[in-house]
Structure 1
Amino acid sequence: MKKKNGLYFLGFILVIIFIAEMIGIQSIPVGKVRISILPLVFAVLIGMVLGIPAFRKGVLKKVYAKENVDFAGKYLIFIMLPLMARYGADVAPKLKEILSVGWVFLFQELGNVGTVLIGLPIALLLGLKREAIGATLGLGREGELAYISEKYTLNSPEGRGVLSLYLIGTLFGAIFFSVFAPLLLSFGFDYRALAMSSGVGSASMMTAASSSLVAMMPENESVILSYAAASQLLTSFLGTYTMVFIAVPLQSFMYKLLTGGKKNDKTRAA
């Protein structure tokens, strides 16, 4: 990366973070449902809009220079590692709490393989090839991003798949969950079950879902937030093992079965 372009790149990132934090969490009422939009969503939106070729002029042209984009993709894993370490540090003091929440939280971890069972066939039908491996291993959050990055690198077809899902989840996931959770509540689902299901392994999605539930049932705020946090913690802890020991072998078997064992490019098999 050129030093001058790198400075522009760093300054651009800091400005986007500042603007997103100044905007803060915005809650939009839609009928009985409140859609919570987090600063993370605004940051991604600003970065995407300014990256449109028509806007890439002057300083922005230097910010979105190819070497900057390549650098960001190549070293994104180093940004994720501290987050992975924090998950581990959060889990250790609360192992007793995790073990006491019951088998219901453990049972929901089986849902992590749903992206493989349902998403992989659909992705292949839509024409994706090796990209489907990265896009359907899970929700494409930090755990999947770290795994795919380590095994294939983010510049591979698998890496493009998981990175695309990561960005889509960041942009639309929080909005979807902030609508979907209260919608199911209006259909008669138990708020505790919805709070538990909020912990899907994504902090932004969990916050959006639980905040929307709290907005509709403020009298149960402590229960909703505690169930959502416990579920999120458990998913972050067990989700990695579910991915490595269940989802990855299952995906490898299904990919070979659905593609007839043929390789679609020069990357190594799953």
Structure 2
Amino acid sequence: MVSTQTAHPPSRRSIRGTWRREPSTHVRTGTTAAPTEHGSFTILAETEVAHSPQEWAPHSHPHHELVWSHGGTVTARVGDAMFTVSEGCGLWIPAGMVHAGRLTAEVEFHDAFFAAGRTPVAFAEPTVIEMSPLLQALLSHLVSPGLTEEARARAEAVVFDVLRPASRQLTLRLPADDRIAPVAEVLLHDPADGRSLGEWALALNMSVRTLSRAFRASTGLSFGQWRQSLRIHHALALLDEGHDVQRVSARLGYAQPSTFIATFRRLMGVTPGVYVAEKPYSLS
């Protein structure tokens, strides 16, 4: 990655949970200094296609970062929240905020760094951004070598004009309560785990009432609602990877595809088929 990164050890307060890691996953933990020729940059954009699954260990940047992709989904952890960023959207990560991420193989990955002291438009919290065709084209233009200072300044000015939050901020709060963290750890790794609240309460030596209250207090959702939302986050990634509805439904633990479709529609506003057919703002 371009730009200075500071690696951080995983912290239960900053990055919780584990990834379902494929054996070929490349874990990126190093740091790379920003090129000296861009020492006075305002926006520094880059793109890459990795041929194996990628995982970024918890780290932070001295600059704001915007990440997006084509042909897949970026999943990120920022603080006690998980973001699933589908095609047509990006994720703004404020400077200095610890985050981790993952990307499947053969996905076209893009990111742009915004100098914190020279960015007139910035968001104080992680924010899902609407990646309109114009915004994507401008950021791709900024990757071009040999841009004059005047041309770069003109493009950057328009970027700031069109940079805006997406209408849907798809985020999931991760439990910050150590009593229920083991449940989240298991479900993040295997969202198809179908154990009931009662079974989890027995395994954790807690009452069902205590476990239920802890989940709602920590995440804002009931246990069932949280698990459903988590499954939809995973579903977005699987659908963007090209898996069909029946396969996604089975991998997420639904007994019938119709149940998965109904849940997806309730949370996303469209069926999985419509979501795949109408992905916005794809330039590929």
Give TM class, smaller chain. under 0.3
Q: Normalising by structure 2, report the TM-score.
A: 0.24
Name whichever structure is richer in helix by fraction: 1
Q: Normalising by structure 1, report the TM-score.
A: 0.25
Higher relative contact order (CA 8 A, sep 6+): 1
